[in-house]
A = this chain, B = another copy of it.
């Protein structure tokens, strides 16, 4: 079978401006690749009927599949439906069922439906409506014999993701023969990129350079292994590669799930062990508690936290002694130790994470420069405190501090775990 050729067309004048890059295509490419579909071109055009029509007319002759994203909203410049209809010489029809769905959605959220929303119920003659429960405009699929199939997707990433799962993947599955290219991801926290590269050097030789790739971001690395072929052969090859990589990298691997986050890994361990955690934050200002609670179901292990920006609140809410604050300053291992112990005691949890540091851009001194952060953990014994020197701007320093803090707890939980075989980070 010849490989299917696809094109991605993003519609949106804002994507032609100086501030924003189209990025939905990365998601689409990932899925298409899995089904052995080649993406041969990507393009961005403005919210202009003529431009959409022109572009699509050319694509319809050149590729087998066109994925159009964006321009399905209710405003005057949402003209994707019209542009596509023109390219295939069809009309737009108001879909009664879709109109009902729209009305119901607005009623549910007690919002008045403006007249402009009516256009979101317009469907290209002959197209199939693709339900989009996450948004107001549905997707559409137009298949004309002898021409490329055309999917119309919303540009909102969350909605696009949903439609990829419910509509695009099943469609692709029907049209491919079971051979897939599959990628597995190991997520690694708080290891430098060059350190990691050194650790996995043997894997490059063993599996081939192109089977392994490394993608680094702040405080986080993704190691990806790829294998092609039919289900079983592919799975066993991926299995042996990831096993070997885990051996080489060690327990810095916190998950083997592509979309897992460090806070999910921590949450999984806390749930498994039946323990609870609280936080006491200064420079991270609530970022750690926000990350912990971003995980659905976190209320079973996260009790609460305090953000103590002022020294007064460090004393009153956490019981940090005035002398300790005066002698060592708020950014010190001593104060972070007290913050952790104080939070554990007054918020009554098994573990307490504490952070204090200088996130910048102001507030640094020669002895306590911007990027100096202490992260602390109070558990059973004395609190453990780590000193960090973090590069980058305020956002990056805060983010890295939250990574190290969560990883401190993750490692402590791993050590206390009697059944490592079932730990998410090692599964």
Contacts and interface: CB of A to CB of B under 8 A. Distances in A.
A202 to B, nearest CB: 14
A302 interface: yes
A293 interface: yes
16 contacts: A15-B42, A16-B40, A18-B33, A41-B44, A41-B51, A41-B55, A73-B193, A74-B197, A76-B197, A134-B393, A294-B395, A298-B309, A299-B309, A302-B309, A303-B309, A306-B307
A74 to B, nearest CB: 6
Contact of A286 (B75, B209, B307): B307
B285 A309 contact: no
A286 B16 CA distance: 35
A interface, size bucket: 35 or more
Contacts of A55: 41
Contact of A43 (B42, B114, B194, B284): B42
A288 interface: yes
A13 B213 contact: yes
Please state the number of chain copies in the assembly.
2
Given A158-B392, A285-B293, A51 B44 contact: no
Contacts of A284: 290, 293
Interface string A136-169: 0000000000000000000000100000000000
Given A75-B197, A299-B309, 9 more contacts: A74-B193, A75-B194, A134-B392, A286-B288, A287-B290, A289-B307, A290-B290, A304-B308, A306-B317
Contact of A304 (B14, B62, B194, B317): B317
Contacts of A327: none
A95 interface: no
A347 B158 contact: no
B304 A306 contact: yes
| CB-based closest 6 A-B pairs | A285-B293, A286-B286, A286-B289, A43-B43, A286-B290, A114-B194
Interface stretch (A19-27, A264-272, A403-411): A19-27
B21 A23 contact: yes
Contacts of A44: 41-43
Contact of A306 (B292, B296, B305): B305
A28 to B, nearest CB: 9
A18 B29 contact: yes
Contacts of A109: 389, 391
Given A76-B209, A303-B309, A51 B40 contact: yes
Given A18-B30, A43-B44, A279-B307, A116 B194 contact: yes
Interface in A38-67: 39-46, 48, 51, 54-55, 58, 62
Contacts of A360: 296
Nearest to A10: B42
B194 A347 contact: no
A396 interface: yes
Interface string A361-393: 110000000000000000000000000010111
B26 A18 contact: yes
Interface string A188-205: 000011110110000010
Given A209-B76, A302-B309, A197 B39 contact: no
Contact of A289 (B39, B45, B285, B393): B285
Contacts of A25: 21
Given A58-B58, A305-B307, A215 B14 contact: yes
A381 to B, nearest CB: 25
